[in-house]
C-alpha cells in the first residue's frame, strides 16, 4: 500500500508558512515567470472576493483592492518541500518526492490497521510545520495520489471505482489534455474510464494512457526513492523590513520549533546552527553556532541565538532570515566543552569554517574583484580547492613592466590636502606635512547612482618636495592617502 501526501496550493502555502496570519485574508501567489504574470493560487478569502486563478494581479486588485500579492519563492518552496520529505521520512524509509508539494510513501511493513494512523500523524506533523496537508492511501502510487488530491483530509481508497464520481480535474491533466476533455464534455472520471482504451492511446498519447491506467488501477510503478535533505532549514524574506529585535526573535523561535519538531520525529539532535541575516542594503550577516552538546531542546537552542543577537547591531533594516541546523545522532553523553571536532588534521575546510565562524562568513574566503569601476571593490568567495590553476599558467598581468609599484595603505589614511586652482598643493597627516610639486589627475570615477549606494571618487598622483610619489583620493569631500609609489 502507498500513502500519497499532498499540500494543496503548495506555492501559496510555502509562502504563507512565514506569514500564517495572512491565511484568512485575501492573498494570491503570482508566478512572475508567466507572460504576463498571472495569479496561480489564492486563499479562500481571495476566492470569495471574486478572484480566480489565471487573472493578472491587476484584475485581482480590481476586484479586491485589499488583495495582498505575493510572488513565488523558490527558496520557500524548496524548504517546504524539504520539510515535507523530512516529516515523511519519519513514517517510512521509502519516500518519493513525487512533485511540488507531493510526496508518496511506501507503507510496506506497516500493519494495515496503522496506515490511517500514520497518515493522520503525518498530517498533524505537517500542521505543526504550518502546512495543511491531505493524504490518500491506496494500492498503487497513482491511485494514492488521486485519493490524496480528493481527500478530506484522508481518503483510504479500497476500490478504484470509488474515485469514479470525482471530476477529471482530479487527474491534474496537462493543459492540452484538460482542454480536450473539457471540450469533449468529459467531466467525471467515470466518463474518462468509459472511453475505449485504444481510442485513448490514439488520441491522448502516453499521458492519456498513463492517466487512464492509473485511474483504472491497472498500473503501478516503483517509487523513485529519495533521501530527505540532511540539513534542516527555515528561511523567509520579510514583506516589510525589520528594525527591531522582537519580531526577529519571534520568527527565530518559530523556526527552531519547526526544526526541532522534525528532528524529534527523526530522533536527531542539532549539532550546529547557522544563522544568516540579509539586510535591506544588500549585504548578508552570517554566523555559525556549534552546539557543544547536541540537543533539540527549543529553549536551549533559542537561548544560544538570543544571547548572540542581544548584542547584535545592524546599520540596516533586516530583510531576510535563514536558519539551518546540521543534525547529528542524539547522544546521551556530555562531550568535553572544549573538545575539538577536528578529527582529521588535513581538513582545511573545517579550519576555514571555524575561521569563518570567528570572523564572519563574509570575511573569510578568496577575494574576487567586483565587476565595477569602484577601486578595490571585491567580494569574498569560497575557495575552489578542487579547481587549481593548471601548472605553468601565469596570472594575467603579473609579468611585464606596468609602471611603478604602489604600496597601498590599508585602510587609506585620512589626510589634509590644500588645493590651488583645483589641484593639490600641500599634504598633511598626523605628524607629517609636505608641500606638493607635480601632480596628475584627477581620475574620476563614479557609479551605483541608482540606489542608496552611489559613490564618486577622484584620484591624484602627487609628488612631494622630497621626491616621493603618493596616490591621493578624494571621496565625500574627504582626502585620503591611498598609497605610496616605490
List residues near another protein by CB under 8 A.
30, 32, 36-37, 50, 56-59, 61-63, 65, 69, 71, 180, 183-185, 194-196, 198-199, 202-205, 280, 370-373, 440-447, 449-452, 459
Shortest separation between residue 265's beta carbon and another protein, angstroms: 37
Q: Of 17 and 457, which has the nearer Cβ to another protein?
A: 457
Q: Of 153 and 447, which has the nearer Cβ to another protein?
A: 447
Question: Can you say whether residue 448 is alpha, beta or left, with left for phi > 0 and alpha for psi between -120 and 50 degrees?
Answer: left
Shortest separation between residue 396's beta carbon and another protein, angstroms: 14
Shortest separation between residue 96's beta carbon and another protein, angstroms: 32
Closest C-alpha among 87, 70, 69, 73 to residue 7: 87
Q: Of 204 and 255, which has the nearer Cβ to another protein?
A: 204
What is the Cα–Cα distance from 252 to 278, expressed in whole angstroms?
14
What is the Cα–Cα distance from 216 to 160, expressed in whole angstroms?
6
Q: What is the CA radius of gyration of the chain?
A: 31
Q: At what angle do helices 245-265 and 298-310 cross, to 10 degrees?
A: 150
Q: Of 419 and 445, which has the nearer Cβ to another protein?
A: 445
Closest C-alpha among 406, 337, 416, 339 to residue 376: 406
Q: Of 444 and 465, which has the nearer Cβ to another protein?
A: 444
Q: In which order are the strands placed within the sheet that holds 268-279?
A: 232-242, 318-329, 268-279, 284-295
Q: In which order are the strands placed within the sheet that holds 68-71?
A: 38-42, 27-31, 68-71
C-alpha cell at 118: 500514520
Shortest separation between residue 275's beta carbon and another protein, angstroms: 24
Q: Of 290 and 317, which has the nearer Cβ to another protein?
A: 317
Shortest separation between residue 271's beta carbon and another protein, angstroms: 37
Q: Of 208 and 294, which has the nearer Cβ to another protein?
A: 208
What is the Cα–Cα distance from 105 to 99, expressed in whole angstroms?
13
Q: Of 341 and 446, which has the nearer Cβ to another protein?
A: 446
Residue 434 parent element (H or E): strand 432-447
Q: At what angle do helices 74-88 and 115-128 cross, to 10 degrees?
A: 140
Shortest separation between residue 32's beta carbon and another protein, angstroms: 5
Shortest separation between residue 339's beta carbon and another protein, angstroms: 45
Buried b (16+ CB within 10 A) or exposed e, 275-309: bbbbbbeeeebbbbbbbbebbbebeebbebbeeeb
Provide φ and ψ at 182, rounded to 5°: -60, -45
Shortest separation between residue 24's beta carbon and another protein, angstroms: 22
Amino acid at each position: 500500500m502507498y500513502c500519497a501526501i499532498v499540500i494543496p496550493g503548495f506555492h501559496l502555502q510555502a509562502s504563507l508558512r512565514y506569514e500564517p496570519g495572512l491565511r484568512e485574508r485575501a492573498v494570491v501567489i503570482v508566478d512572475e515567470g508567466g507572460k504576463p504574470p498571472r495569479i496561480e493560487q489564492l486563499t479562500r478569502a481571495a476566492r470569495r472576493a471574486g478572484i480566480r486563478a489565471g487573472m493578472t494581479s491587476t484584475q485581482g486588485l480590481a476586484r479586491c483592492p485589499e488583495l495582498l500579492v505575493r510572488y513565488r519563492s523558490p527558496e520557500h518552496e524548496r524548504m517546504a518541500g524539504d520539510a515535507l520529505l523530512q516529516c515523511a521520512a519519519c513514517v517510512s524509509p521509502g519516500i518519493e518526492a513525487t512533485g511540488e508539494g507531493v510526496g508518496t510513501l511506501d507503507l510496506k511493513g506497516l500493519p494495515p490497521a496503522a496506515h490511517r494512523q500514520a497518515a493522520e500523524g503525518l498530517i498533524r506533523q505537517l500542521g505543526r510545520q504550518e502546512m495543511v496537508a491531505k493524504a490518500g492511501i491506496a494500492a498503487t502510487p497513482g491511485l494514492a495520489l488521486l485519493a490524496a488530491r480528493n481527500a478530506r483530509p484522508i481518503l483510504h481508497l479500497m476500490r478504484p471505482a470509488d474515485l469514479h464520481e470525482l471530476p477529471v480535474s482530479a487527474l491534474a491533466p496537462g493543459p492540452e489534455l484538460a482542454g480536450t476533455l473539457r471540450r469533449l464534455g468529459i467531466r467525471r472520471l467515470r466518463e474518462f474510464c468509459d472511453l475505449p482504451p485504444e481510442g485513448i492511446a490514439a488520441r491522448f498519447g502516453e499521458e492519456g494512457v498513463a492517466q487512464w491506467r492509473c485511474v483504472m488501477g491497472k498500473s503501478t510503478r516503483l517509487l523513485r526513492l529519495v533521501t530527505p535533505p540532511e540539513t534542516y532549514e527555515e528561511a523567509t524574506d520579510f514583506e516589510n523590513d525589520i528594525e527591531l529585535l522582537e519580531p526577529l526573535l519571534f520568527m527565530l523561535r518559530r523556526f527552531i520549533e519547526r526544526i526541532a519538531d522534525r528532528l524529534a520525529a527523526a530522533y536527531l539532535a542539532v549539532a550546529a546552527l547557522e544563522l544568516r541575516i540579509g539586510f535591506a542594503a544588500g549585504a548578508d550577516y552570517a554566523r555559525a553556532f556549534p552546539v557543544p552538546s547536541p540537543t533539540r531542546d527549543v529553549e536551549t537552542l533559542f537561548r544560544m541565538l538570543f544571547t548572540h543577537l542581544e548584542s547584535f547591531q545592524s546599520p540596516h533594516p533586516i530583510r531576510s532570515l535563514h536558519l539551518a541546523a546540521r543534525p547529528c545522532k542524539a547522544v546521551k553523553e556530555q562531550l568535553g566543552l572544549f573538545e575539538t571536532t577536528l578529527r582529521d588534521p588535513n581538513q582545511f575546510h573545517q579550519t576555514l569554517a571555524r575561521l569563518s565562524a570567528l570572523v564572519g562568513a563574509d570575511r573569510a574566503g578568496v577575494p574576487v574583484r567586483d565587476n565595477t569601476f569602484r577601486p578595490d571593490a571585491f567580494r569574498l568567495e569560497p575557495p575552489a580547492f578542487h579547481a587549481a590553476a593548471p601548472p605553468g599558467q601565469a596570472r594575467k598581468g603579473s609579468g611585464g613592466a606596468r609602471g611603478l609599484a604602489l604600496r597601498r595603505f590599508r585602510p587609506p589614511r585620512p589626510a589634509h590636502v590644500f588645493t590651488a586652482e583645483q589641484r593639490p598643493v600641500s599634504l598633511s597627516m598626523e605628524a607629517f606635512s609636505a608641500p606638493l610639486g607635480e601632480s596628475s589627475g584627477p581620475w574620476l570615477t563614479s557609479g551605483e547612482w541608482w540606489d542608496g549606494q552611489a559613490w564618486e571618487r577622484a584620484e591624484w598622483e602627487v609628488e612631494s618636495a622630497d621626491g616621493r610619489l603618493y596616490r591621493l583620493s578624494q571621496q565625500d569631500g574627504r582626502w585620503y592617502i591611498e598609497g605610496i609609489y616605490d
